[in-house]
Structure 1
Amino acid sequence: MADTISIFFVGDIVGDPGIEMTNTFLPSLIKKYNADFVIANAENSHEGFGTNRSIVKNLLNLGVNVVTGGDHSFDKWKIFDYMRENDHILRPLNYPKGNAGLGFSIFPVPNKEDIKVGVLNLQGRTFMKAIDDPFTAAEWALEKMREETNIIFVDFHAEATAEKISLGWHIDGKASVMVGTHTHVQTNDARILPDGLGFITDAGMTGSFDSVIGMDKKVSIKRFMTGVHQKYRAAKGDNQLCGVFAKVDIETGKCVHIEPVTYPGLTNTEGS
């Protein structure tokens, strides 16, 4: 059997409940899946919006190699200098030039430093901010990264499922794994596309499921019923860690296995 690298991805970490779940269970999950490389999306980790230095450093201490972001990457300005100084925290590449941070980088794999993994962060445009084209940005970045490695992981932070699926087909054969983030609901379509891209429309979130996508239920319902802005706050209760586990052939860069992960797992309640 061909040599593979195991990659574990933690879906959007939302507020303190998400951090608590990650702190408590990620180290054991890394061992369970024998993960060689770990990526976590933390753009909602600080109070539900943005992140900060202490959270990023904590994730690194837990075994995370790269932290990705999305439309809340720039919500907390104190992180900007840290983003400029370090490549282990990424933000979507297709924001206009001049913004802090990097959209992609290439990383040696711990204990396998002759192997490198490229990680690319992108953001969609459908129902989201008007920024640069993620498809063109992906083409340019993937070409650059493939000069150094054929093992490439893409976090596409987007609202529309059609946009995520379209990008998946567009980069099939050019990247190893693409996970969708942002909608916080794990999808049931993990699969390997014909040219070797491991794909899932959304990895889900890490945080409270006694909530509306991680936020307090009452506030969310009130926003919909009144049509008036209410300040969101992170919910608590029924905490889960959602993510994706994938294996990639080291020689070809093709995904050979992909599966969604939900821990400890949702409970189905049936009426009597």
Structure 2
Amino acid sequence: MRFLFLGDIVGRSAREAVVNTVPRLRQEWALDFVVVNGENAAGGFGITAAICDELFDAGVDVITLGNHAWDQREALTHIERENRLVRPINFPPGTPGRGQTLIEAANGARVLVINAMGRVFMDPLDDPFAAIDQALTETPLSDIADAVIVDFHGEATSEKMAMGHFCDGRASLVVGTHSHIPTADAQVLPGGTAYQTDAGMCGDYDSVIGMEKDEPVNRFVTKMPRGRFTPALGPATLCGVFVETEGNGLARRVEPVRLGGRLIKALPQV
């Protein structure tokens, strides 16, 4: 099967680019499944029910989140109703929603999507390795799940790489989110898991990780806030990864995706 994972959507111009482009990519690339990280989709902070519906209507199958999961308070209730919206699995017990979901793809395959958050330079949540290990044990690849996609939302490249090797042979894809910068290490690991340390963001790269430049630069220079962070609204680059799997759910190939905006284009061979 073929699937596309797109990194953190930052603000309106990125949302519009995703909504306008995903239907075409599903057709042109014969995609069976699409996952996006939507934790910055609502003005750069969180997600709303209306934005979820807009993305689902455009052909997105699952939306993952991260440390901004609850920035829009309505997400606390909407996530209980919407099983295609997934927050980090290692949030404490009793947190609304779910950290994994098993969804049927366009070709009838069963796709397990897991979202987890790192702990290095992040909030000290429960152990993501233990949480993901339990999820992979309960819903094993090539048995209950035909494909497994892990979105590891983290700051440290070392922690993300460790998670990739930890899941190698048990997941179709382990991909990092959160840093908003696409890394150049797309690869199939020795056990057959596709991996990239960070998918990058869907957003305007004439920015500071998706935000208008002036205020972030000011805070670095003066250590004083002068205003609010607001998403940059120039042309968005869609960044992510394309994965094609074998019959056993492990990756045949992985290719980076960069489409539109300012970054050098990278498209899969389809």
TM-score by length of 2: 0.93
Aligned counterpart, 1:89:
85
Structure-2 residue corresponding to 1:73 = 69
Structure 1 match to 2:116: 122
Contact 1:220 1:232 in 2 (8 A): yes
C-alpha distance in structure 2 between counterparts of 1:238 and 1:149, whole Å = 37
Q: Give the Cα–Cα distance (whole angstroms) in 2 for the partners of residues 61 and 55 of structure 1.
A: 10
**Compared CA separation, residues 143 and 198, structure 1 to 2 (3 A):** same
Compute the displacement of 1:264 (Å): 2.0
Structure-1 residue corresponding to 2:268: none
Contact 2:236-2:261 at 8 Å conserved across structures: no
Find the counterpart in structure 2 of residue 244 from structure 1.
241
User: What letter corresponds to residue 19 of structure 1 in structure 2?
Assistant: R
Deviation of residue 177 (structure 1)? 0.5
Larger mean Cα displacement after TM superposition, 237-246 or 254-263 = 237-246
Deviations 1:92-139 (A, max 9, x none): 0001011111000111112x22x2010000000100101111111110
Is 2:228 aligned against 1:231? Answer: yes
> 1:45-194 residue pairs with structure 2 within 5 A?
45-110=41-106, 112-113=107-108, 115-146=109-140, 148-194=144-190
More strand by share: 1
> What residue number does 2:214 align with?
218
Mapped to 1, the partners of 2:100 and 2:139 lie a distance apart of: 9
In the TM superposition, residue 29 of structure 1 has moved relative to its aligned partner by 1.8
Q: Which runs of 5+ in 2 are unaligned?
A: 265-270
TM-score by length of 1: 0.93
Give SS of 2:74's match: helix
Secondary structure of the corresponding residue to residue 212 of structure 1? coil
Shift of 1:238: 3.5
> Number of matched residues?
261
Give the secondary structure class of the aligned counterpart of 2:211: coil
Partner of 2:30: helix, strand, or coil?
coil
Query: What amino acid maps onto 2:172 in structure 1?
Result: S
CA contact (8 A) 1:65 1:88 kept: yes
- Could you tell me which residue of structure 2 aligns to residue 201 of structure 1? 197
Q: Residue 66 of structure 2 contacts residue 153 of structure 2 at CA under 8 Å; is this kept in 1?
A: yes
- Structure 2 distance, partners of 1:49, 1:62, is 21
Moved more, 161-170 or 229-238: 229-238
Q: Name the amino acid aligned to 1:125.
A: R
